[in-house]
């Protein structure tokens, strides 16, 4: 098992590294050339800048049994399709039961943004509680994966 992190602007990278280190699970951070990442634990793969370049590289690397951390529902859907597990930075575990609804809601929001000249607000500020929720969900996903 390897944990792959869609690491461009991912706020839970360090938490994920701390948890995976406890279990000696390898981690690969993927980012584009517009981001500078370094890690004492993870392997960092810098992918050329371009639309979806990081997403494509991540999906090409992932194998059944791996875990993907991403906020991108499309990446999560492809990871699930390859037999991997996926989790959002909020701690929501993606599954076959919820991914279709999430993709549909993403599509509807995109259509609404195109129709409206009013922009929607961005996400609320991340809290310590958000970090704790992610860590608890991530640990549960690892525990389930280790069986």
pLDDT at 108 over 70: no
Question: Which residues fall within 8 angstroms of residue 63, CB to CB, at 6 or more apart?
Answer: 2, 82, 83, 84
pLDDT at 121 over 90: no
CATH 3.40.50 fits 3-146, yes or no: yes
In this prediction, residue 23 has a pLDDT band, given cuts at 50, 70 and 90, of: very high
Kindly report, residue by residue over 133-146, the tens digit of the pLDDT. Answer: 999 999 999 999 99
Q: Enumerate the domain spans of the chain.
A: 3-146
| Percent of the chain topping pLDDT 90 | 69
| Percent of the chain topping pLDDT 70 | 88
Between 114 and 98, where is the model more confident? Answer: 98
- State the chain's mean pLDDT as an integer: 89
Q: Over range 32-36, report the average pLDDT.
A: 86
Kindly report, residue by residue over 35-76, the tens digit of the pLDDT. Answer: 888 999 999 999 987 878 999 999 999 999 999 999 999 999
Distance of alpha carbon 10 from alpha carbon 14, whole angstroms: 9
Q: Which token pair is 128?
A: 């310590």
pTM for this model (two decimals): 0.87
Distance of alpha carbon 95 from alpha carbon 69, whole angstroms: 13
Helix (H, G, I), strand (E, B) or coil at 140: helix
């Amino acid at each position: 098992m390897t944990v792959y992190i869609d690491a461009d602007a991912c706020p839970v990278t360090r938490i994920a590294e701390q948890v995976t280190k406890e279990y000696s699970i390898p981690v690969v951070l993927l980012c584009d050339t517009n981001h500078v990442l370094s890690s004492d634990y993870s392997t960092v793969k810098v992918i050329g800048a371009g639309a979806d370049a990081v997403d494509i590289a991540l999906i090409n690397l992932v194998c059944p049994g791996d875990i993907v951390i991403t906020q991108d529902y499309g990446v999560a859907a492809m990871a699930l399709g390859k037999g991997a597990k996926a989790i959002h930075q909020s701690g929501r575990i993606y599954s076959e039961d919820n991914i279709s609804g999430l993709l549909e809601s993403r599509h509807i929001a995109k259509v609404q943004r195109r129709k409206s000249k009013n922009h929607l607000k961005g996400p609320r500020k991340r809290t310590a509680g958000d970090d704790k929720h992610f860590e608890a969900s991530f640990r549960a996903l690892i525990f389930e994966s280790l069986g």
